Amino acid sequence: MTVTSLAGAAGMGFVLLAIVVNVLYVRAGLPLPTSGLSLDATTDALAGIGKRINAPSVVVPATWVFTTLFAAGLLAVLWRDGQTGSNIWALTGFAGVLMQNATFMVVESLRFGTAAAARHHRGSVAGLWAFGNVLFGFNQVFLAIAVLGFTAAGAGLAFIPAWHAWLGWISAALLFVSSTAAPYNAEGAGRVGVIGLLGWVGWAAWIVVYSIALLGV
């Protein structure tokens, strides 16, 4: 397997793991940032979740490895000597992925913090819950940056077809718009949640298509 093929496989592996982890979180009863639950209901759910969030979280670090490999593969394929414009866009995409990984590491950690607070000090849940919700929302801007950068680089080099580029543009726009509503979702209200969900689905599909392109290099 070539390095670029490994990057393509990592991209598809990330999407698969992300879906599985989120399904397991929902089945475990973890309140999602846009659940719309009251603070009391959220606290009760977090207090009762116990160690059920441990198992899904075990594989979460693998998703960050996969996205980094995927982004590094894209950067290597899209980099061209003397092509300053496309190189800058490719670096922008790579930076977006790294920032997303770092930010979401904090989001994941806060889930354990809020669960522990719900069991031992209910009064501190409000602050941790709001912190995690807003950070979750703002994190979408890094997804938008990643999609924007790699889409611009790929389209500029004719590495991706026009429909794939449009998928990237639209997904990036939806994610950015959703991120701007983060301060209004501090309590988990889920305003413009549909926009964020559509952006995430588009982003996941964008990754799968780009991964297939990497497998063909």
Hey, what are 99's tokens? 């920032």
Per-residue model confidence (pLDDT) at position 187: 79
Distance between CA atoms of 144 and 162, rounded to whole angstroms?
A: 18
Contact 122, 43 (CB under 8 A): yes
Distance between CA atoms of 212 and 35, rounded to whole angstroms?
A: 33
Provide the residue-wise pLDDT of the chain in tens; the chain has 217 residues. Answer: 788 899 999 999 999 999 999 999 888 888 888 777 788 888 888 888 877 888 888 999 999 999 999 999 999 999 987 777 889 999 999 999 999 999 999 999 999 989 888 888 888 888 899 999 999 999 999 999 999 999 999 999 999 999 999 999 999 999 999 999 888 887 777 677 789 889 999 999 999 999 999 998 7
Hey, what are 58's tokens? 């075990």
Phi, psi angle pair for 82, to nearest 5°: 85, -10
Hey, what are 40's tokens? 């009391």
Q: Please say whether the dihedral angle defined by the alpha carbons of residues 3, 64, 136 and 24, taken in this order, is positive or negative.
A: positive
Number of domains observed in the structure of the chain: 1
Per-residue model confidence (pLDDT) at position 180: 92
Distance between CA atoms of 136 and 132, rounded to whole angstroms?
A: 6
What's the maximum distance between 2 C-alpha atoms anywhere in the chain? 58
**Predicted structure pTM score:** 0.91
Distance between CA atoms of 125 and 209, rounded to whole angstroms?
A: 40
Domain housing 159:
3-215
